[in-house]
Structures are given as C-alpha cells and as structure tokens.
Amino acid sequence: MNNIEAINVKKTFKIRNAKTSNKGDASAPKFYALDGVNLNIQAGEFFVILGPSGCGKSTFLDLIGGLTEPDEGEILIDGKPVEGPGLDRAIVFQQPALFPWRTALNNVSFLLEAKKVEKNSREEIARKYLSLVGLTGFEDRFPYELSGGMKQRVAIARALAINPEILLMDEPFAALDAQTREVMQIDLLKIRDQTQKTVLFITHSIDEAVFLADRVAVMTARPGVIKTIIDIPIPRKSRLSNDVRITREFIETRHKLWELLKEEVVKAQKYSKSSIEDCTPADSRSIKKAPVLSIPLDTRSE
C-alpha cells in the first residue's frame, strides 16, 4: 500500500521585501502558492503533474516529501498524515546532488548507512541498483568522472536503494540532452515495471508526460489547483514499443494536454509580469489588503 491523498491543501509563502522586512517578520504579507489541491494517487500508479512555471508543482512535491508543511489541508499516505521526511519516500531532483568525494557506489549506499544496513549488504544493494540503472562497471567512478545522464542514474539508484514505497521525481531529466532524456524515460519505465513503485513525476514536457504516465494532472497558473486529470489511453505494455510516439492515441493525447495547458501558460506569463493582486485567491481578503502588492512573486523568503 502506498496511496497518496491530498485534501484541500493550501500553502502560502511570505513575500520578502528586502528593504523593509526580514526573514522572521510574521507580519510580512503572504501569497498562495497552492490554493486547495485535492488529489488521490493510487498505489503503484505513475502519476505526472504538468503545469506552467511557478504554479506550485515543486511545492506540492515537497509537501508529500515532508520537506515542508501545508498551511491548511492534509497530505495522507495510506491514510496517515505526513509528518516530515521518511525513508518510505525518496526524492530525485533536477540536479543529482551527489557527494563529489564519494564514488558512485558510496553515493548509492549513503542512505543505507543512515538505515544502519550492515557494510557488506550495503555494498551488495548499491551494486544491484547501479546495475538496474545500467551503471555496472562504473561503481568506483567519482561524480566528476560521470556524464550528466550517468550522474542522474546514480541519483535514481540512490533513491531506489532504500526501497522507498514512493518515488518523488521533480523534473529529473530536465537538465539532460534530448537523446539521453529519451533513453532515461525508457529505463525509468522498465525500472517502474520491475519495482512496482508509486511514482509522482513533475515535468514541463507534455511528450514526457504522455510517454510515462498512467494519469496526468494539469495544474492552473498560481495559485495552483488541479485543473483536470486525464487518463493516458496507452497500455503500459505498448509504451516500450519503438513507435508509440507516432501513434494516434499519443498524438491526440499530447494535443489534448496542450489545449488544457496553454491557457494556464498564458496566465502564468501575465502574472509573472504583474503583481500579487492578480493571483491572490478571491477568499483571501487579508492578503489583498497587504501593503506590498506590487512586489514580484519570485522573491523567495524561506
């Protein structure tokens, strides 16, 4: 079991005005990054979130990972509220963030040390997962000796090695070249078939979403909510056949997703040029009264 449920999840961030407020300023105005996300991701599902830049995708993934807490609402895993990070969930980010002084093998075994797995078993498990991501023979290489795609494979192996029930992936392939990205997508589907993990995957690529997902959620421009969820009508077993991207189902689904997304992308572009007033939820009057309404939203405070 590893079902994820989000119930009316809201998340705000403070707006930091570098001139007048500091980090601990409780009176600093806030804006809604997420404004009532409701979602149910089934155990074993490959669930993808698409949305315009800044709509709150990473914020949502961080909430599931327990890296941050909602202001309102709840995230439940198998019915239990998330109360912080845990080894039941592993996160893979856009940047692999490997320890440069550790070999590939020792990067993968790192979290197993935290789990107090005995040394011989750690090594065996790390080798197994490096092999699963196609890196047999590269165990003793340091990160600077690996390509970008290889480093990301190590990061995926590190995440899988702790045998999490849920794999959270935040644009894991965004920094890779186009060919490596397609190879990694195929490999990820194979790994998913072998490990049967629940996967929550964030991407900006509609093509990637259609190729990987069982279901895709499209988020609105901020404040982010789920605009719609669509089932991908392509059986899992046909994803790995060479020409799935030129099938009618693939092309039609990609088109449908773009139709749903483009309106939000336009809105997001408009918001990024304007003020918080435009993206404040209608019911948050205290925020509307905030004195610094013209501060751009990409000014992070926490």
The residues that touch ligand ATP, with contacts defined as CB under 6 A, are: 13, 33, 51, 53-59, 222, 297-298, 300-302
Report the distance separating Cα 37 and Cα 5, nearest Å: 10
Of 162 and 276, the one with the shorter C-beta distance to ligand ATP is 276
DSSP assignments along 212-225, one per residue: H-SEEEEEPSSSB-
Tell the smallest beta-carbon distance from residue 17 to ligand ATP (Å). Answer: 12
DSSP assignments along 29-65, one per residue: -EEEEEEEEEEEE-TT-EEEEE--TTSSHHHHHHHHH
Report the distance separating Cα 29 and Cα 84, nearest Å: 26
Of 80 and 300, the one with the shorter C-beta distance to ligand ATP is 300
Helix (H) or strand (E) holding 114: helix 110-114
Residue with tokens 């019915």: 79
CB 39 within 8 A of CB 4: yes
Of 160 and 221, the one with the shorter C-beta distance to ligand ATP is 221
Residue 206: which of 49, 41, 39, 45 has the closest Cα? 49
Of 191 and 206, the one with the shorter C-beta distance to ligand ATP is 206
Of 19 and 300, the one with the shorter C-beta distance to ligand ATP is 300
Report the distance separating Cα 182 and Cα 199, nearest Å: 18
Report the distance separating Cα 157 and Cα 96, nearest Å: 11
Tell the smallest beta-carbon distance from residue 118 to ligand ATP (Å). Answer: 38
Give the DSSP letter of residue 292: -
Of 63 and 108, the one with the shorter C-beta distance to ligand ATP is 63
Is the C-alpha dihedral spanning 273, 227, 85, 164 positive or negative? negative
Tell the smallest beta-carbon distance from residue 184 to ligand ATP (Å). Answer: 19
Report the distance separating Cα 153 and Cα 161, nearest Å: 12
Tell the smallest beta-carbon distance from residue 48 to ligand ATP (Å). Answer: 13
Q: How many CB atoms lie within 10 A of CB 187?
A: 16
Tell the smallest beta-carbon distance from residue 105 to ligand ATP (Å). Answer: 31
Of 84 and 100, the one with the shorter C-beta distance to ligand ATP is 84
Report the distance separating Cα 171 and Cα 11, nearest Å: 21
CB 105 within 8 A of CB 126: yes
Tell the smallest beta-carbon distance from residue 253 to ligand ATP (Å). Answer: 21
Q: Could you tell me how far CA 109 lies from the centroid of its own chain?
A: 23
Tell the smallest beta-carbon distance from residue 285 to ligand ATP (Å). Answer: 20
Of 43 and 67, the one with the shorter C-beta distance to ligand ATP is 67
Tell the smallest beta-carbon distance from residue 302 to ligand ATP (Å). Answer: 4
